[in-house]
Structure 1
């Protein structure tokens, strides 16, 4: 689960397991032009980050893991009634997030194979995503991809 913190300044989230045990913290940098989010372990060490590219033709977010560029998340243009994002990783193993704009239900696929399901809970005061990742997948990359999705959707709401 990715849950937005209610009384924090900025976009801060806690990432928990299915039992509610906190696993990671997401620190949203309030005054950042690039909509930067830092994923930290419980000791406060940065594991990954997500930030928006300032200049691009379509919404694009960069994911870094361990200080190295791991992927770019790009929103596909001209997808009526659906949201579609590509998680472009180095090499041939790109991921694709496809979702229903109304229900906020997304499916993450690699080469047509299901690797994760993402569901945004509608009736909550805070933004909450349930993320179910297939065993053996890169959890941190997929969680960062979901955070990029949230940044893109919340930015669209502001426009």
Structure 2
């Protein structure tokens, strides 16, 4: 029996304060694979629209169509759309619609959206 296959995908998140621009890490919390770095998310310094550099073991990601309020954007993986993310304007808590395209790693995409939410809205990650 493959215990690795039965273990649900789990993630840990942390923020590295040692750089000029904060770096956010997505780490594996899976049994036998704990603390392996899966992705690094860096926020680039811009005046109007937030921009990110996202590198992961799955490939390079970028955001497109990020408006000033960051309520709708497309997540691209090496230039190909892999998810469309929308945040509801009027809700008591952060409520998202995330449409994940094709056979992408759904758990990882959702973990990435959680980190982006923390960066864009909460600023207290």
**Unaligned 5+ runs, structure 1:** 1-44
Higher strand share: 1
Counterpart position of 1:14? none
Say which of 73, 81, 84 aligns to 1:117: 84
**CA distance, structure 2, for counterparts of residue 102 and residue 75 of structure 1:** 16
Q: 1:155 Cα deviation (Å)?
A: 4.0
**CA distance, structure 2, for counterparts of residue 58 and residue 120 of structure 1:** 25
Say which of 73, 97, 100 aligns to 2:63: 97
**Unaligned 5+ runs, structure 2:** 1-7
Judge conservation of contact 1:49–1:144 (CA < 8 Å) in 2. Answer: no
Question: Deviation string for 1:35-87 (max 9, x for gaps)?
Answer: xxxxxxxxxx7711222112222132100123221011111222x43222222
Judge conservation of contact 1:108–1:114 (CA < 8 Å) in 2. Answer: yes
**CA distance, structure 1, for counterparts of residue 101 and residue 55 of structure 2:** 19
Q: How many residues align?
A: 111
**CA distance, structure 2, for counterparts of residue 54 and residue 118 of structure 1:** 27
Higher helix share: 2
**CA distance, structure 2, for counterparts of residue 53 and residue 151 of structure 1:** 14
Q: TM-score, normalised by structure 1?
A: 0.62
**CA distance, structure 2, for counterparts of residue 105 and residue 123 of structure 1:** 14
Q: 1:143 Cα deviation (Å)?
A: 1.0
Judge conservation of contact 2:14–2:24 (CA < 8 Å) in 1. Answer: yes
Judge conservation of contact 2:26–2:40 (CA < 8 Å) in 1. Answer: yes
Asked if 1:56 corresponds to 2:19, the answer is: yes
Specify which structure has the bigger relative contact order, considering alpha-carbon pairs within 8 angstroms and separated by 6 or more residues.
1
